[in-house]
Amino acid sequence: MKDHVYIIGAGAIGKALAVFLRLNGRLVTLLRGSEDVAETYTERITVMLEGTEVEAPVRISSLSNFRSIDGLIVLTCKSYGNEGLATAIKNKSGDSPVVLLQNGLGVERPFEKKGFPGIYRCVLFVTSQVLDDGKVRFKPVADCPVGTVSGNTRQLAAIAGQLTTDYFAFTAEPDIQPVIWKKAIANCVFNSVCPLLEIDNGIFHRNDQVLAIANQIIAECLIIAAAKGVKVSHEEILESLIRISRFSDGQLISTLQDIRLGRRTEIETLNLAIAGMAEELGMGHLVQGTRLLGEITRLKSELTLKNP
C-alpha cells in the first residue's frame, strides 16, 4: 500500500479528512475535483469539532498538475462528476486503489466500466459543513465502513487503517452492499425532505409528521431493495435515520447547502435512482412518493443553478 493519500474533492468531507490525516503525520494532497488551479499551494484549514478546533497545513492542487497519482485515491467530490473523473484519472492512477466516499446507488459504475483494478465503497456516518468563515464543522456519528466493489479484498483492512484517525474512523466491511442501501435509503429521506422544507437534519426526531413522511419513503425504497436481492430492515434504517438526526441537529444536509449555493445536487443517485430501478422492474407505481420528492428536489436545484 502506497503511503500518499490523494483526496479528490475539496469540500467539507475532503478538507476535514485531509486535516485529520495531516495531524496523524500522513502524506496528503487535496485535489480540487471541479476547479483547475494552476499551481500547487498550501492552505491552513481549521476543523471545528464538539468543544474544540484543530488545524493543519494542507497541500492543495488539481489533477492537471500530476502526470501520475501513485497512492491511495479517495473521492470526496460530488458523484455526478464520476464519468469525467474516471476518464481523467484512468491513465494516471496505475494500480492505485480508488475509495469512493460518496452517497448514492451505482456511483462506482464509471470506474467499473473503465476497468479500475481496485474499487472500494465507503459509507459515511459523519456530517460536515463548510461555514461562511471557511472553517469546517465536523461531527462523527459512527465508524465508517469500507467494502470491496472489485479488486483485492485483502487490501481492505489496510485501506481502513490508512484512513483512520482519532477524529474520523473507518472499518473494513466484508459485505458492503446492504450498508450502502441502508445509507442510500436514509439519504433519500434527508436529501429530499430537508431541502424541500428548508430545514436542518434534526427535524425527524423533533416532528412526528415529518417522521411519518420518512417512514413512507423508507417503506417504498425497501420494496426495490428486496427486488434487487438486498436484505435490509425498516427498523435498522429508521434507527439510523433518527440517530443521525439527533447527532446532526441544527446541521444542514449537503443537498440543501448545494441548492442554496446554486450548485448541482446528487438527487439523481438517490430518490431518482430508486425510481429508475423501480421502472425497470415494472414497479414504478410502488415508489410514487419517493419519485415525487426527488423530482421536486431536482426541479428546485435546477431553478437555482448558477451555471445551468
What are the structural domain ranges in the chain? Answer: 5-174, 178-304
- The pLDDT mean for the chain works out to 93
Per-residue confidence (pLDDT) for residue 191, from 0 to 100: 96
Per-residue confidence (pLDDT) for residue 308, from 0 to 100: 59
Per-residue confidence (pLDDT) for residue 228, from 0 to 100: 96
CATH of domain 178-304: 1.10.1040.10
What's the first-to-final CA gap in the chain, in angstroms? 41
What is the C-alpha to C-alpha distance for residues 93 and 85, in angstroms, rounded to an integer? 11
The three three-digit cell numbers of residue 155, written as one number: 487490501
What is the C-alpha to C-alpha distance for residues 121 and 108, in angstroms, rounded to an integer? 8
What is the C-alpha to C-alpha distance for residues 63 and 209, in angstroms, rounded to an integer? 46
Ordered strands of the 170-172 beta sheet: 126-130, 136-140, 41-49, 52-62, 28-32, 5-8, 72-75, 98-100, 119-122, 144-150, 170-172
- At 97-118, the pLDDT tens digits run 999 999 899 999 999 999 999 9
**DSSP assignment letter at 105:** S
pLDDT bucket at 284, cuts 50 / 70 / 90: very high
* Domain 5-174 fold: Rossmann fold (3.40.50)
Mean pLDDT, residues 147-151: 94
Task: For residue 237, count CB atoms less than 10 angstroms from its CB and return exposed for 0-12, middle for 13-18, buried for 19 or more.
Answer: buried
Per-residue confidence (pLDDT) for residue 148, from 0 to 100: 96
Rounded to 10 deg, the angle between the 288-304 and 208-227 helix axes is 110
CA 278, 283, 284, 289: dihedral to nearest 10 degrees? -90
Percent of the chain past pLDDT 90, that is, above it, reads 81
Mark residue 9 as left, alpha or beta (left: phi above 0; alpha: psi -120 to 50; beta: remaining): left
Contacts of 291 (CB under 8 A, 6+ apart): 271, 272, 274, 275, 278, 284
- At 217-257, the pLDDT tens digits run 999 999 999 999 999 999 999 998 999 899 889 988 989 98
What is the C-alpha to C-alpha distance for residues 205 and 244, in angstroms, rounded to an integer? 9
Per-residue confidence (pLDDT) for residue 34, from 0 to 100: 63
Per-residue confidence (pLDDT) for residue 127, from 0 to 100: 85
Nearest Cα to 49, choosing from 175, 167, 163, 193?
Answer: 167
Say if 5-174 and 178-304 have the same CATH topology.
Answer: no
| Residues 94 and 26: beta-carbon distance below 8 Å | no
Q: Which H helix or E strand runs over 58?
A: strand 52-62
Q: Is the pLDDT of residue 306 over 80?
A: no
Rounded to 10 deg, the angle between the 177-197 and 208-227 helix axes is 140
pLDDT bucket at 162, cuts 50 / 70 / 90: very high
| Residues 111 and 98: beta-carbon distance below 8 Å | yes
- At 5-40, the pLDDT tens digits run 999 999 999 999 999 999 999 999 999 866 566 688
Q: Is the pLDDT of residue 186 over 70?
A: yes
- At 61-93, the pLDDT tens digits run 998 888 999 999 999 998 988 999 999 999 999
What is the C-alpha to C-alpha distance for residues 55 and 44, in angstroms, rounded to an integer? 7
